[in-house]
Structure 1
Amino acid sequence: MSRQLPPGTIIFGPDATCTLDTCPVDWSIYSYRPSLAGNATLLALFGVVGIIHTYLGIRWKSWGFMVGMQLGCISEIIGYIGRIMLYNNPWSFVGFMIQIVCLTIAPVFFTASIYVTLSKTIIHLAPELSRFKPQLFYWIFIPADVVCLALQAAGGAMSTNSDGGDNTGVNISMAGLALQVVVLVLFIAAFSDYMIRYWRSGRMSGFPWRLKAFFAGLTVSILLILARCCYRVAELREGYSGDIIKHEIPFIVLEGAFIVVASFALCWGHPGLALRDSHRDSGKASDSEQGTIEK
């Protein structure tokens, strides 16, 4: 802060008294006024990608994947509404809570869709090459995702009782993000191991273009989400008073743009692009086992 606080001035929390008329913006928790153009653009892009995934989900009847993507996009949209509220009033505690919770948890829904999709993909390609049952990809990783979601949401919610100096909520959110990084790394290692075994089996020759696009989209999305989580861990490690959190450009790029690109990449990594039967969620376990690769 560049000046001494006047008596009775509250700069953080539900009882904050600052406004743009009464306090300099560097007294706000982010020390900047969020970009209206940047955050509105991200909001619009998530709206577009949400519509695309709704169309693809209905077209290919991939209800589970569609719901995960919709929840992620809706969370992103709500989060950027919170950022726009902070543009109007950088001390808006409601806006702060909306964006800190929704933007933190949104990618968890995207990764959940990825875990289920790749489990079904292994069943279609060659389940016998997997070191463990393909279903373990979602029996293990989905519950881990739920734990990540719970920690991140709880950490954000605990900030409602903070005056900005108590980092308990921040630490809990950071634990959830760090766990998400670990889960993503383990998932990447497990699936990479499977793909190496598949490649060595000689079955990768003549891969149809749709399957190549499918894996390219999934790979891009996973790596971008991983990079974003690493950034958020570094950001929260310093708490709300740290230096990283005070700069918007890294946030716009590493949180906003990375997740936008990841969500668009999942249009290419959509199960309907490569799998003919498993995306039709008929509710029968045999459906995912009897499908064939779309040529």
Structure 2
Amino acid sequence: MILFAGVFAAHFWQACKHNNLWLGLAFSLGAFGEFTGWLARTVAYRCPYSVRLLEMQLAALIMAPAFTTAGIYGVLGQLIPIIGQDKSPLTPKQYLVIFMTVDFFSLLLQAIGGGVAGAAFSANISYWPGTYTMVAGIIWQLVSTCAFTTLLEYVIYRAMRQIIRNPPLRKITSALMIAVTCMVARGVYRSMELMNGWRGYLFTHEIYACILDALVMFIASVTLNIWNPAALIKEARAVGTEMELRTREEQDRKKRTNGEYQPVAEEGEPAFTSIQ
């Protein structure tokens, strides 16, 4: 709980410092959701039979990764203009529309399932209908994350030459790959946990939640803190512009050497072309 509070404060400070509201808000809300969920779990240590605390931690820990992934979609959308639209099969807007729509419906399923399961606990009836609904939502979200990860890897592969030559791009892509890998691992764990039931081995042993949910999400959030995309995107744009200018100068130099250079004539002056 304390660690996620620190991550939330760091993301909020970075959002204000680098003046990137979209990324800062998404990553901050993701860290705040993790903080809220683990706050509920911490308080529930004193009253483990509280359904309200159970619902609070379920809702927070289910929604938190969605905000972080939304921020990652935004990062990729800002990278595409730097590396070139030809490197990506989708436009930045298409990434946001498609994957955020899928995430919204997966969260809706998980929220409905959590509400049904919570009501079942209160009424002391079968909680499996709500559980299966939550499992469907989590698996849907997991498939969406895997599909996005595949597209991200494809974009990185296509733009590998530019990424290698641009240090800020290397840091951004490394941070994104670490973050999405952690989220896939968390999604696999959550799916298996719920499929085993609320009284299953994974759900009744806290160490698995601490390692396969809290720890992996903490690694993802801290990685995005250390290699903050909002700051690195500005550096990547500057480096990319410098590289582009240098490439043009080299091309002009080669044309002059080969006798192919054709300067633009000033107004009122005849243009001339050197003959090789």
Category of TM-score, reference length = shorter chain: 0.7 to 0.9
Cα displacement (A) at 1:292: 4.7
Cα offset, 1:76, TM superposition: 1.4
- CA–CA distance in 2 between the matches of 1:60 and 1:256? 27
Moved more, 235-244 or 47-56: 235-244
Q: Choose between structure 1 and 2: higher helix proportion.
A: 2
Q: Which of 101, 104, 108 pairs up with 1:146? A: 104
Could you tell me which residue of structure 2 aligns to residue 46 of structure 1? 4
CA contact (8 A) 2:163 2:170 kept: no
Tell me how far apart the structure 1 counterparts of residues 43 and 162 of structure 2 sit (CA, whole Å).
53
Please give the residue correspondences for 1:92-171 in structure 2 after superposition, counting only pairs within 5 Å.
92-162=50-120, 163=124, 165-171=126-132
Q: Work out the CA distance in 1 between the residues paired with 2:58 and 2:65.
A: 13
Question: Aligned pair count?
Answer: 238
Which residue does 1:238 correspond to in 2?
196
1:182 paired residue number = 143
What does 1:256-295 correspond to in 2, within 5 Å?
Answer: 256-276=214-234, 292-293=238-239
Distance 1:146 1:115 in 2: 14
Deviation string, structure 1 residues 42-92 (Cα, Å, up to 9, x no partner) = x11111111111111111111011111222122212211211222001111
Contact 1:157/1:169 (<8 A) preserved: yes
Please tell me the residue identity of whatever aligns with 1:182.
V
Q: After TM superposition, where is structure 1 displaced by more than 4 Å over at least 4 residues in a row?
A: 291-295
Contact 2:23 2:230 in 1 (8 A): no
CA distance in 2, matches of 1:269, 1:127: 24
Q: C-alpha separation between the residues in 2 aligned to 1:124 and 1:293?
A: 10
Cα distance between partner residues in 2 of 1:268 and 1:121: 18
Closer/same/farther in 2, CA of residues 243 and 94 from structure 1, 3 Å limit? same
Q: For the aligned residues, what is the CA RMSD? A: 1.9
C-alpha deviation, 1:277, in angstroms: 8.9
The letter of the residue matching 2:147 is L
Q: Which has the higher contact order (CA 8 A, sep 6+)?
A: 1
1:206 maps onto 2:165 in alignment:
yes
- Residue 152 of structure 2 is aligned to residue 191 of structure 1: yes
> How much has 1:247 moved relative to structure 2?
0.9
Partner of 1:287: none
Change (3 A) 1:152 1:277: farther
Residue in 2 aligned with 1:9?
A: none
Structure 1 residues 230 and 205, CA, compared in 2 at 3 Å: closer, same or farther? closer
